Structure 1
């Protein structure tokens, strides 16, 4: 009886039901699109941070920068031998990025902190390579321009003419990775597209993995040799960064990186994974308290410093989009409730007659709430369809957004927290990373839409049920013509 009457009434008043369902659908569709776009921006921002951090990394630990009062850092020096017949010169300077290192034992100290699931150290290096040649000048005797033909020419006098130097300076980044623990750190944000990754036995081997963009620039391939400070490394793999910008140009075993930079038992960065992503702040506090002289940077800290159109769009979706969705939803719920209550008012004779025939107020209220719930579910279905279509269109159009991660600390001597925290991303700090925006639809978003549909039906039913419960059979008799 309940469902039969429900179906008949909804069919008879389908225009009014469609108006209520359409209002709810509009609000629900907007919520789906905004949530999907926001999720897409978070994914895009995650790709930017992964290019600095690496997959699975929740925070990094670096050495705290010394105060300026302690004096400046040592500048790189190039030494050339002045030998006869040896005009071609080459010199490499290998130095840790930021010039600040931590003892390797810090990795174990960090790993022992409560809430830490794993920690691994890495050594980020900057290499300045100078190649060129000296051209010696030629001695030319000075001509005697004085008159009189007498002596006084000054035997042996003259001047050196010509000569000079022509040098090319090349800089690139090298990251020393712990081959025993390759599940953390910047290299995890790249995929091996040719060759292979490091083997766990290659802790001190002269092997290297090269970023694909750098390999293309230098025409490197698997099996080629690359020389760093006089040491040859065999290229065993080519890696392609997921975000488009690699963390380093070259990756070599950690021990080899320590040897090249005279940084035995030193690391520049400790990459940390927490047991629980909800406890990252607590882990950060514990590390800072128990390991003095360190700076701890979380992914949230880096996210706060991401600028560009990605950040602007993310802020817009978070603030304006959220409040706009809430405003539209409230308006849709209120309108649905008022329309339902108005429909109940127009059915005074019907409900009054039903009460006169023996229907109790509870039964009339359930009937109204049932109709409102059906309207809400229909509106939810329409809203989900429109929202998914909108998200699909947004993904298909794929507007390109840019992101820049603080350039203040760029370069080997950068002191800011951004690049120091990110390790070997120093060279990428000045680059704008372009990322195509997507709008993924998650199960949580669909569940939210269903919940909103039910909520909208309940609110509309509450308005209508309240009005229906106040009707009396006498109201129907007054309106009988």
Structure 2
């Protein structure tokens, strides 16, 4: 009887049911789209951050920034003086950020409570200068004797004329090198890249002259597997080519940590310690413990680094998390209220019907259940329609894939000092000016949890609408209802 009456009433009031369902569908669809876009932006930010420190890293430990003007050494380039024109070439291997930690710091960090794993790395910048000096030619002034003097008794014994031409032309080329601990390759910047040719390091290659090069750098320098890349006069055999998942690698060349320490004359030194926490909910506590127990260090979490992200990605993320969510909530509340008012209004137009049913023996509870059942079906219809529209909107965003830019380090913060982005992007003396810009394609993934939330909202909307109508229906008295004429 309940379902028969329910089906008949919904069919008889199709327009009213469609209006209620459409209102709920609009709110539910907006919630799905905003939630999926926000999820996509979160994934995009994670992708940006992973390009700096790799997968699985919750925080990094670096040396605390030195006072301005202390603890840094500017690179010097010296050339031998030669009589003839010749090509001069020299290079310098510099620690990014110009600040290092003792390698023993890695063990100290790993021993802290809440730390699951820790690994050290050394980030370097190799700057190569090569070019040619050209000797100038001495040109005599016109009217001056061949011996170059001003004349008999002229009072000057110096040649009269000037040196013309000559000069120097030099090309400066720099690239980044990251020394990775080949015995622990689960953490660090290399984990954010995929080996697309050759192989990665073996655990036994702790001091081998082998290298993995980034695909973009390999293309630029025409490098391939089994070829040799030269770093400060030392040749390294390319064993693999890696492609960064984010489109921009943390370093151009990756070599074993010991080799990097030798090149930079930084024996038993690291620039960054990459840390994985045992529990993502305890990251702040682990950060506090490291800063308290290991002096002279700066601990940067992924949340700290996210604050340095600017550009359209940051702006869109802020809009989605603030304006978008509040807008979806406002629309959803409005949809619930409209559904409730429409259901209540429908009950008022059915006064004689409910009065007759009560006169025939229906209890108030049965009438209320009938109204709530109709509203609940309307809510579920709205849920199905809203989920369909929401999935369509999320698919459209993913299909279009608008490109957002993310700029890191432009704020000049001290995050990730000495990391793969080095003193330029995230720490050290150069951090005030250099930055890194990435282009990220936005997607809008829809998870099962979002669908379940949508179903819950549909049921809630139906119950809210049914509560309005059921309350009106339960207050009707048969005698009053039968006296009304529609």
TM-score normalised by length of structure 2 = 0.92
Contact 2:271 2:418 in 1 (8 A): no
**Match of residue 305 from structure 1:** 308
Distance 2:287 2:350 in 1: 63
355-364 or 74-83, which deviates more: 74-83
Give ranges in structure 2 of 5+ residues lacking alignment. 426-433
- Give the superposition deviation at 1:145: 6.0
**Match of residue 265 from structure 1:** 268
Contact 2:139 2:161 in 1 (8 A): yes
**Match of residue 119 from structure 1:** 118
Q: Report whether the alignment pairs 1:468 with 2:467.
A: no
Contact 2:150 2:160 in 1 (8 A): no
Distance 2:475 2:154 in 1: 134
**Match of residue 445 from structure 1:** 450
Distance 1:109 1:130 in 2: 39
Q: Report whether the alignment pairs 1:169 with 2:168.
A: no
> Cα 1:152–1:367, aligned 2, differ >3 Å: closer, same or farther?
closer
**Match of residue 282 from structure 2:** 279
Q: Report whether the alignment pairs 1:424 with 2:421.
A: yes
Distance 1:128 1:208 in 2: 18
Contact 1:24 1:333 in 2 (8 A): yes
| 1:417 aligned counterpart, secondary structure | coil
- Give the superposition deviation at 1:455: 0.7
| 1:93 aligned counterpart, secondary structure | strand
**Match of residue 181 from structure 2:** 178
Distance 2:322 2:285 in 1: 27
- Give the superposition deviation at 1:424: 3.2
> Cα 1:468–1:224, aligned 2, differ >3 Å: closer, same or farther?
same
**Match of residue 57 from structure 2:** 57
- Give the superposition deviation at 1:330: 0.6
- Give the superposition deviation at 1:161: 6.3
The Cα offsets for residues 42-87 of structure 1, whole Å up to 9 and x where unpaired, read as 111111111112111111110001222x636211112333366793
- Give the superposition deviation at 1:162: 5.2
**Match of residue 413 from structure 1:** none
Count of equivalent residues = 474
Distance 1:13 1:199 in 2: 72
Contact 1:32 1:387 in 2 (8 A): yes
Distance 1:216 1:125 in 2: 21
Contact 1:54 1:187 in 2 (8 A): yes
Contact 1:174 1:424 in 2 (8 A): no
Residues 40-439 of structure 1: matches in 2 within 5 Å? 40-68=40-68, 71=70, 73-82=72-81, 87-136=86-135, 143-144=146-147, 163-407=166-410, 416-418=413-415, 420=417, 422-424=419-421, 430-439=435-444
Distance 1:465 1:49 in 2: 52
Contact 1:57 1:273 in 2 (8 A): yes
- Give the superposition deviation at 1:242: 1.1
Distance 2:45 2:411 in 1: 19
Contact 1:24 1:383 in 2 (8 A): yes
Distance 1:408 1:468 in 2: 62
**Match of residue 431 from structure 2:** none
Contact 1:128 1:169 in 2 (8 A): yes
- Give the superposition deviation at 1:356: 1.5
- Give the superposition deviation at 1:151: 12
Q: Report whether the alignment pairs 1:459 with 2:464.
A: yes
> Cα 1:219–1:362, aligned 2, differ >3 Å: closer, same or farther?
same
- Give the superposition deviation at 1:165: 3.0
Contact 1:175 1:424 in 2 (8 A): no
Give ranges in structure 1 of 5+ residues lacking alignment. 410-415
Q: Report whether the alignment pairs 1:16 with 2:12.
A: no
Distance 2:190 2:482 in 1: 81
TM-score normalised by length of structure 1 = 0.93
- Give the superposition deviation at 1:470: 0.6
Distance 1:406 1:147 in 2: 63
The CA RMSD over aligned residues, in Å, is: 2.4
